[in-house]
Structures are given as structure tokens and as C-alpha cells.
Structure 1
Amino acid sequence: MSAAPGVWQGRIDDEEPGTTDRWHQRVRVFDAASRGGVALIGFAVDEGVRRNHGRPGAAQAPQAVRKALANVPIMGEPPLWDAGDIECTGDDLEAAQAALAQRVAQAAGQGCLPLVLGGGHEVAWGTFQGLVQAQPDRQRLLVLNLDAHFDLRMAAHANSGTPFRQMHESCAARGKPFIYRVLGISRFANTQALFDRADALDVRYWLDEALQTESGVRAALAELARELQECDAVYLTVDIDALPAGVAPGVSAPAPLGVPLWALEQAIDLVLASGKLCGADLAEMNPQFDRDNLTAKVAARIAARIARGSNVQGD
């Protein structure tokens, strides 16, 4: 049975010889019998962005990205499942994150790669919890964030700026190392307090300024490659606002400089080549501020790249 017929619609090239399938022809509803492949999970929530005094709208992103994915040609993707959306009732962000964690854990438990479509970056706390639930004994989980922001904020109530600080606290409580790496940090979008906290937590990061040239990207990825060798698994979280505003205008916080798309894709490819990816999510795409669906198409390109490069096959 096809998934979400109202969203998974698109072009059909009946008269073209050869393989012409697109995502809308391959995505199926995720259920208890689904095995292997990639499970898309929507996190239609931006309560964390609202709490963080950002501009809401990211809750609409999962459907926008699905629509952009619908016409992407199939080129080696594994089985594709749609596990539906997690929504937020009122302002109960914590319940939404717990529901996401449960669905991520279920997908991982069935041998699928959870690929979550956020939503604000509060999605990361839900995804992380689900991966921990699925493999609680995992020792060295590398959290790789492609982002202009650390999102290590201190706050009375969790929001889109706190997920990685929450992960640190979770790791400390469970006696696990907190291995957090960030590519794309902007010196103009993080306070000194956040840089100091990152240093105190032994966070390794690369500035957006250092990722503008091929030599700079090669140096960063060489260091990241060593990190990948030492970890047991990788959780990849991609904040779309890591990209330049001209490439990704429809985000919660547009980046004046940002990391070039080609550099971000090289980092993703390196993670995929490691064979250690256990889960991924996309965050902060905001359709309300998009132009010509450009940002949705960029997010879809990234999602499809992750799916194609994943090493999870179906039965």
C-alpha cells in the first residue's frame, strides 16, 4: 500500500524506457512488518523554536520536504517507509519528543534507519533519546551536528537551543562519554558563554569560515575521519540553517555566510562511507520563509542523499 496518497504524488514517465521510478512510487506505509531500509518520521513541531524566541513555521516542514522528495528519481535507494508525523499538543514539547523517541526506537528496532524530518532543532533531543532506547549499551555514539549554532544553551525550559546540553546531561547520568562535534559554527551567532561551554564539554567544532575552501574542508574532514574510526555509531543531525541564506532562505535563522552545500554533502558522504550511521534528522527548514520551494528541494536532496548512501537493506 502506498503511503500518504495526498503527499506522495508526482510525475510518472510511462512512455520512457528503463527505470523511471520516483520516490512517490516507492514509499510505503511503515508498520510492524516493515524491515530494513529508511523510515521517514515527521516531527511537525516548532514549540522549541517558539520557546527559544525564534520565528515559528518549521512545524510545516515535514510535509514540504515530502512533497519535494516525491519527484526525486530512485537511484539505488533501499526500501522507503513513511512512519507518519509526530505533532505537539498545545505546548507539551516534552511529550512530543518522547513520542518521537518511541517511534525512532521502533524503527531502529525493526532494522530501519530512522530519518526524521523536523521541525525545530528540538527534534534532536527526541531522535537522540530514541537511538539510546534502541541501543542502550552502545558506548561511543558520535553526535555530529552540521550547524551554525552549538545549541548548548542553559534554559529553565528545554527549547530548540538546548538539545545538545540535554544530551550531555543524559550521557553523564548514564556514565557514557559525550562525543559532540559540530561543523559550521558561526562566531557571529554564538555568545562567548556558548564557546566557553563547548570548550568545557570538550566539544570539537569547525568554524564556517574554515569551510569555505577545498583545502579547509579537506582538513576538517580528515579530522572527522579519525573521529569516525574511534566511534561505535554516528547520529547525524543537519540543521538546514548551516547553509548560506541564498541556498536555504526558508529556515528559522538564515546564515549570511554558511557552509557551502558541496562541503556539507562531502561531510555527509564521509559519514555514510563509515557504515556507522544509526540515525539522522533534518531541522529548522521553515516553509513560511522559503522561495520557490528552494529550501524544501535542498532538504529533499540531503534526505535522498542519506537514503541512497545508507547501508540498510530490506528483506
Structure 2
Amino acid sequence: MSKAVSLIGVPTDIGAGHRGASMGPEALRVAGLGEALKARGVDVLDRGNLAGPYNPWLPPTEGYRHLNEVVAWNVALRDAVAAELEGGRLPIVLGGDHCLAIGSITAVAAHTRKTGRKLRIIWLDAHADFNTSAITPTGNVHGMPVSCLCGIGPAPLVEIGDRKPVIDPSVVRQIGIRSVDEGERRLVHDVGLDIYDMRYIDEVGMRRVMEEALEGVDADTHLHVSFDVDFLDPSIAPGVGTTVKGGPTYREAQLVMEMIADTGRMASLDIVELNPAFDKRNQTARLAVDLVESLFGKSTLMRA
């Protein structure tokens, strides 16, 4: 894992169904993300915020809300992440809603092909994000990033990278899933997406889930973590627009992060869907910072 990271703020809720995720980057900064990582000996550069189109807050057009604006934000992020990877730094995307994973993972996937490395994506989320315009009437693209990355979606998004599809579904491991639309459920089964839903976590425990999700990660693997804050149970993380009861507890979430850190292979990170408009005294942002510290090696005294 690189000890040199770059924070990239992406202040937009362009793909979301609620306003407010655009304030996520500043909430993470106020919660002390940069300072916490510096205290762990990490070289931190805050690149500030990307610029992009404002959110016009319009209904769907041909099945998608704000498609042109979504594309613009993701192209800007794709290029920003690519530049950090090229410079040998670990990009941390401060979202913003989860549609931004299209841009960040597009850059990561291209980088792994260029460098001849394997890609593994750990997708921490309450939702599978494998919707299409035919499945969901909302047209909100934050419910579609994984399907778009896998080549199912509007041409401007599925063709955003150096190849189509951007990724193969086999590189994705989704953890914490507990809200999937009926049509989406059929689609993820058809493509063989590897999903560790909450029932499976309840049955076998988070340790086994993470052992399975990280199986095969080695020195040739670029591990990308896409951390949607609604992955967490809303009792500990109320600051999201799409809360779903029954998510991982604080300790389960810490175990996830610690086991990812133990691999030493995390090379890029998204933090998305933090919505201060729904939060309580920045509680969720502070929890997110705590968990990201664990991704960078914070652990109990027994394993210090």
C-alpha cells in the first residue's frame, strides 16, 4: 500500500435521489481525514475539489437523470485519478454520490491493464448498484455504476474507458448488500456477480466473508475499495440519503477494514454517499474517518 495519498474532492450529488452528498468532501475534511492519515505517517496531498456542472434537479430523460452532467463529472474524475496513479500516489475520492465510481474505477482498471496487474474491487454497500433504466423508474445513476462498468448502460458511460466493458464482473466482491430491486436481482444472477449479502454475513460471520472476498489477492493485485457509507447500519451512520436497516455493526466494519489493511494491497479508495444534511453533528463523517484510519493500519493494541 502506498504511503503517499492524494485526496480528490468531488462535490456533487448529480447521480443521487437526494440532495446533500455534494457536501460530503468538506464533511470528511472537517472530520479530520487528512490530519488522521498524516498522524499515521502517510504523505497526504489534498488536491482540493474537482469542478463540474451544477445539479439541475430534473426528471429522467430517456431513462436517465442528468446523464450529460454525470458523464462530465466522471470524465473529470477519471482523469484526476489516472494522474495520481501515474504519479505513484494512492487516490482517495471524497464523494459525492456513488455514480462517481464509474470514473474512478475506469481509471483504476486502465492503470492495471497498463501495469499488468490484477484488479480486485471490494464494493462496500447496502445496494448492488446494478440497476438499469429498464429496471428502475428513478433514473438515478448512483444506482447503476456497477452495471455501467460491466458494460450495461448508456453508451456515454459504458464507453468512458479504454475498453468496453471497463471491467469483468468477476473482479467485484460486494459486501453488506441488503437492498436489491427484483429486476436487479435477476440481472446480478445472470452476470454472476459475487455478492456477500447480510444474510450470508449473519450465517458465516464477517471474518469468513472477508477471507473469501480477499482470496487470491497477492503482490500482483491492485485492490480498489469503493466504500459507500450506507454500507454501515444507520444506527451508527445516519448521514446518508438511502439508509437501509440491518447493516454491519461498528466492530464488523472495523474487521472489514482491518482485514483489507492486512493485505497491504489497497491502492485506491472511494468514500461516497456521505450526506451531511441527514447527519447528526458530523457523526457519520467522523466514523468514516475512523474506518479509513483502519484501512491504513490502525488496529487494536494486541496487534499494534
The aligned residue for residue 299 of structure 1 is 288
Q: Aligned Cα RMSD in Å? A: 2.5
After superposing the two structures, state which structure 1 stretch, 222-231 or 254-263, moved more: 222-231
Q: Deviations over 1:22-60 (max 9, x none)?
A: xxxxxxxxxxxxx961111111111100xxxx2110000
Q: Distance between the aligned counterparts of 1:196 and 1:106, measured in 2?
A: 37
Q: Residue 161 in 1 paired to residue 153 in 2?
A: no
2:239/2:280 contact within 8 Å kept: yes
Cα–Cα, structure 1 residues 230 and 209, in superposed 2: closer, same or farther, change >3 Å?
Answer: farther
Larger radius of gyration: 1
Which residue of 2 is the match for residue 286 of structure 1?
A: 275
In structure 2, give the amino acid aligned to 1:254. Answer: T
AA in 2 matched with 1:302? L
Query: Which amino acid is 1:115 matched to?
Result: I
Residue of structure 2 equivalent to 1:44: 11
- 1:230 offset after TM fit, Å? 9.8
The structure-2 alpha-carbon separation of the partners of 1:308 and 1:195, relative to structure 1 and needing over 3 Å to count, comes to same
The reply to whether residue 61 of structure 1 matches residue 24 of structure 2 is: yes
8 Å CA contact 2:4, 2:42 repeated in 1: yes
CA contact (8 A) 1:150 1:185 kept: yes
Q: After the TM superposition, which residues 41-120 of structure 1 pair with which residues of structure 2 at under 5 Å, given as runs?
A: 41-49=8-16, 54-69=17-32, 72=36, 74-91=38-55, 92-120=69-97
Q: TM-score, normalised by structure 2?
A: 0.80
Change (3 A) 1:254 1:175: closer
Identity %: 24
State the alpha-carbon separation in 1 of the partners of residues 148 and 26 from structure 2.
Answer: 27
Per-residue CA shift, 1:233-280, capped at 9, x if unaligned?
221101100111110001011121111122222222222222222211
Deviates more, 1:204-213 or 1:247-256: 204-213
Cα displacement (A) at 1:206: 1.2
**Distance in structure 2 (CA, Å) of the matches to 1:247 and 1:227:** 32
Query: How far does residue 194 in structure 1 lie from its aligned partner after superposition?
Result: 1.4
**Which deviates more, 189-198 or 142-151?**
189-198
Q: In structure 1, what is the equivalent of residue 192 of structure 2?
A: 202
Task: State the one-letter code of the partner of 2:104.
Answer: T
Equivalent in the alignment of 1:6: none
Query: Which sits farther off after the overlay, 145-154 or 87-96?
Result: 87-96
Closer/same/farther in 2, CA of residues 175 and 37 from structure 1, 3 Å limit: closer
Task: State the Cα distance separating 1:225 from its structure 2 match.
Answer: 3.0
| Deviation at residue 212 of structure 1 after TM alignment | 4.5
2:201 counterpart of 1:185? no
SS of residue matched to 1:117: strand
SS in 1 for 2:206: helix
- State the one-letter code of the partner of 2:6: A
* Counterpart Cα distance in 1 of 2:285 and 2:235: 13
Aligned partner of residue 173 in structure 1, secondary structure: coil
SS at match of 2:223: strand
Q: Unaligned stretches of 5+ in structure 2? A: 56-68, 152-157, 299-304
Residues 146, 264 of structure 1: 8 Å contact kept: no
Supply the AA of the counterpart residue of 1:279: S
Cα deviation code 1:140-181 (max 9, x no counterpart)? 311210111000111286710111111111598269633211
Q: Which stretch shows the higher mean deviation, 281-290 or 175-184? A: 175-184
Q: Where does structure 1 lack aligned partners over 5 or more consecutive residues?
A: 1-34, 310-315
One-letter amino acid of the counterpart of residue 177, structure 1? D
Alignment correspondent of 2:123: 145
Q: Which moved more, 1:58-67 or 1:177-186?
A: 177-186
